[in-house]
A and B are shown apart, each in its own frame.
Chain A
Amino acid sequence: GDQVEQSPSALSLHEGTGSALRCNFTTTMRAVQWFQQNSRGSLINLFYLASGTKENGRLKSTFNSKESYSTLHIRDAQLEDSGTYFCAADTNAYKVIFGKGTHLHVLP
């Protein structure tokens, strides 16, 4: 099965609201990254975490390696936040494995 399971697969938010995206891992991961893929297809680095929590503006991410999950919280969503969000985790084999993504649509 998939080593990185992302949920939800799709999400709609109204501007100004917030939500959380989640990644569950079926094996021990050394670190996790979160990316946003924009409408042009570019992958934008959001966070890299080996543990704990990081925050950047309206985004916050947590990685709990013991319980094998990571979350990305978006607050005060804006139209430009629309896109696909991927988590990617580093296995002990130095390979980065991606989840299938969450398609976020921010509505006016």
Chain B
Amino acid sequence: EAAVTQSPRNKVTVTGGNVTLSCRQTNSHNYMYWYRQDTGHGLRLIHYSYGAGNLQIGDVPDGYKATRTTQEDFFLLLELASPSQTSLYFCASSEEGGTEVFFGKGTRLTVV
């Protein structure tokens, strides 16, 4: 089974702060994803990648950057955090696009 590890698990930052969320998967999956989960919206796709150096824009990308440095590692960057970005963030991976997706345990981010 895919192992997807997110860090940190919890983070509090101030408005205007700089935050990096990290994700590592150890099953050699090509695709990695960042989602945010908010009450009333379910999970929404921020960015995804199909390999090292690749980045694709998701459905709610504004205010977020992402970088896929290796096949294993996918980072989500908030360079000027705002309270609207307070959310539960999930990283996920899949072997290919359209195959089964496996999730990390989530990072709860609070922007005060």
Residues of chain A within 8 A (CB-CB) of B106 are 41-43
- Is the CB–CB distance between B88 and A94 below 8 Å? no
- Is the CB–CB distance between A100 and B41 below 8 Å? yes
B98's partner among A45, A86, A94 (CB-CB below 8 A) is A94
Q: Is B19 an interface residue (CB 8 A)?
A: no
Chief secondary structure at chain B's binding surface: strand
Please, how many residues of chain B have a CB less than 8 angstroms from a CB on the other chain? 27
Chief secondary structure at chain A's binding surface: strand
- Taken residue by residue from 70 to 102, chain A's Cβ proximity to chain B (1 for < 8 Å, 0 otherwise) reads as 000000000000000010101000111111110
- Is the CB–CB distance between A33 and B98 below 8 Å? no
A48's partner among B41, B44, B100 (CB-CB below 8 A) is B100
Q: Is B31 an interface residue (CB 8 A)?
A: yes
Q: Is A13 an interface residue (CB 8 A)?
A: no
Residues of chain B within 8 A (CB-CB) of A99 are 42
- Chain A residues with a Cβ under 8 A of chain B: 30-31, 33, 35, 40-43, 45, 48, 86, 88, 90, 94-101
- Chain B residues with a Cβ under 8 A of chain A: 31, 33, 35, 40-45, 48, 50, 58-59, 88, 90, 92, 94, 97-103, 105-106, 108
